[in-house]
Amino acid sequence: MKRLIISLIMALPMLAMAQSQTNVTVEAAGQLSEKIPQGDRFKIVELKVSGPLNGTDLKLLQQIVNRTKANEKNGECLVSTVDLSGATIMEGKEGMKTKANELPSGFFAGAKMLTKVILPTNLINISKNCFADCNSLAVLVIPETVTTIGSQAFQNCVALSSIDLPVSLLTIGDEAFRKCTSLTEIKVPVAVTTIGSDAFNGCSTLTKAELSVAMKKIGESAFQNCPMLREVILNSPNPPSISKSTFKGVAATFHIPTGSQPLFNANKDWQKLPTKEKTSSIF
């Protein structure tokens, strides 16, 4: 019994360290390494970083967050939560090449223990592969400044069951949400004009999709392999450009704006799909 008590007492500081949130504020770009001591970098579960960040800072942040193994005997753990709401990405070539207000391509890719991310409030682009294969990612806060979701940005994010897309969004890239197998509904913001090829391909539990009034093009196989999709709501009175494979295998009803039935009937791609005029949004 004494040995058990001693072991528990010795484990308490390590447990407390692993469970506490680490809040870091940098006054100038390039200071992140000074703010997080070498011995503490792999003992963080929740990390909040504020201030200007350059490529050197982001390279260190990526090393901390994207690890797939931790030496628990040394008190190490894997990061589950990252809050960058107060951070600003600076343009430069230090450490890794960066663009202003944009995380580098593949930045969080493969961070399998990451469950929650709050993005910078001034971010304008979610880059290619940014969150690809983040198998545990369930919560993502996207600011109302993002205009583009890059190709494969959330591919294989199998724990992502819902996502609120910002009204600022204009484009959803190829394979952006491919094989997000827990995603059940998607509402595309009003200004989005393009959904890329395979954007939602393989979203096997997706049941409803509402598309924007500005929608002009839905790419090849965008909603292919979505066997549960039953309702697609289109808000544009003009039929968006689609291909034969855009909704291949989908057994959904396509709700279209009142008065637009003649336009959809005259379109060679849309006339093959079961369209129905709606009086109000299904959502």
Q: Which residues pair with 53 in a beta bridge?
A: 89
Q: CA dist 202 to 62, 114, 179, 270, Å?
A: 28, 22, 4, 22
Instruction: Give residue 179's pLDDT.
Output: 99
Does the residue 2 lie in any domain? no
Identify whether residues 35 and 135 lie together within a single domain.
yes
What is the token pair recorded at 175? 């394979």
Q: For 182-197, how does the pLDDT look when each residue is reduced to its tens digit (9 = 90+)?
A: 999 999 999 999 999 9
Identify whether residues 42 and 135 lie together within a single domain.
yes
Identify whether residues 73 and 195 lie together within a single domain.
no
SS3 string, the chain, reads: CHHHHHHHHHHHHHHHHHHCEEEEECCCCCCHHHHCCHHHCCCCCEEEEEEEECHHHHHHHHHHHCCCCCCHHHCCCCCCEEECCCEEECCECCCCCEECCECCCCCCCCCCCCCEEECCCCCCEECCCCCCCCCCCCEEECCCCCCEECCCCCCCCCCCCCCCCCCCCCEECCCCCCCCCCCCEEECCCCCCEECCCCCCCCCCCCEEEECCCCCEECCCCCCCCCCCCEEEECCCCCCECCCCCCCCCCCEEEECCCCHHHHHHCCCHHHCCEEECCCCCC
Alpha carbon distance 105, 97 (integer Å): 10
Give the gyration radius of the chain's Cα atoms.
22
What pTM does this model have? 0.89
Does the residue 10 lie in any domain? no
Identify whether residues 124 and 188 lie together within a single domain.
no
Q: How many residues does the chain have?
A: 283
* Sites in the chain below the pLDDT cut of 50: 1-19, 281-283
Domain region containing 103: 17-144
Q: What's the number of CA atoms in the CB half-sphere (13 Å) around residue 91?
A: 3
Instruction: Give residue 280's pLDDT.
Output: 55
Alpha carbon distance 54, 131 (integer Å): 20
Domain CATH for 118: 3.80.10.10
Instruction: Give residue 181's pLDDT.
Output: 98
Instruction: Give residue 11's pLDDT.
Output: 41
CB atoms within 10 A of CB 59: 17
Instruction: Give residue 276's pLDDT.
Output: 94
Of 87, 119, 144, which residue is a domain's last?
A: 144
Identify whether residues 226 and 260 lie together within a single domain.
yes
Does the residue 4 lie in any domain? no
Does the residue 273 lie in any domain? yes
> Which residue in this structure is represented by tokens 């196989």?
221
Strand order in the sheet with 208-211: 185-187, 208-211, 231-234, 253-256, 275-277
Does the residue 8 lie in any domain? no
Instruction: Give residue 75's pLDDT.
Output: 73
Instruction: Give residue 8's pLDDT.
Output: 40
Does the residue 151 lie in any domain? yes
